[in-house]
Homo-oligomer: A and B are copies of this chain.
């Protein structure tokens, strides 16, 4: 139970749970350890879990027809990650979700989640709120892609998510921001020569 506290606490930020409810919720959680470069989601397989990062770093990405990678999301400590589409529709994933470091996760299985949403209706509210926030976040990202240049998006990311930028490889960052690694080098070069 003690190891599962991070998720219990996370949920408690959004809804008040009784001790019984916390214990009940805990029975649905399980700890998973993964090594660097290991996949927790792969295209073709239905995504079975929603994962909370206790320790480590992850990256969710798609490989397109030309073999190019496009990063959809990162997750470090206290973030969640999965192939959202695959999870909610329980259809084969299109994304890879890969550990960028040796990591520790707390996972919730899809079927279990459906079960406890029925048993603890309060958690519906939790789900609704965090989904709404993800949606608002995604909307901002889409707009940022439309309205800003590559360099502006880079600057924005560095200032908002310095910690993530430090920990993930640069090709991953470039593919998250929507441009090539070569161009990222160019940007960085421009900056260091300026200052």
Instruction: Give chain A's interface residues, CB within 8 Å of chain B.
Output: 62, 64-65, 68, 70, 72, 84-85, 88-89, 94, 117, 121, 124-125, 127-128, 131-136, 138-143, 145-147, 178
- Distance of A133 Cα from B134 Cα, bound (Å): 12
Q: Are A72 and B121 in contact (CB under 8 A)?
A: no
Q: Are B142 and A85 in contact (CB under 8 A)?
A: no
Tell me the nearest residue of chain B to A71, going by C-beta.
Answer: B146
Q: Are A131 and B135 in contact (CB under 8 A)?
A: yes
- Residues on B with beta carbons closer than 8 Å to the beta carbon of A134: 135
Q: Are A142 and B141 in contact (CB under 8 A)?
A: yes
Extra inter-chain contacts (14) besides given A65-B147, A94-B143, A124-B128, CB under 8 Å? A64-B146, A70-B146, A72-B139, A84-B136, A85-B136, A88-B132, A117-B125, A124-B125, A127-B132, A135-B138, A141-B142, A142-B142, A142-B145, A146-B178
- Distance of A88 Cα from B64 Cα, bound (Å): 34
- Distance of A88 Cα from B128 Cα, bound (Å): 11
Q: Are A143 and B89 in contact (CB under 8 A)?
A: no
Main SS class of interface, A: helix
Q: Mind listing 29 A-B residue pairs with CB under 8 Å?
A: A62-B143, A62-B146, A62-B147, A64-B146, A65-B147, A68-B147, A70-B147, A72-B142, A72-B143, A84-B132, A85-B136, A88-B132, A88-B133, A89-B136, A94-B143, A121-B121, A124-B124, A124-B125, A124-B128, A127-B128, A128-B128, A131-B135, A134-B135, A138-B139, A138-B142, A141-B142, A142-B145, A145-B145, A145-B178
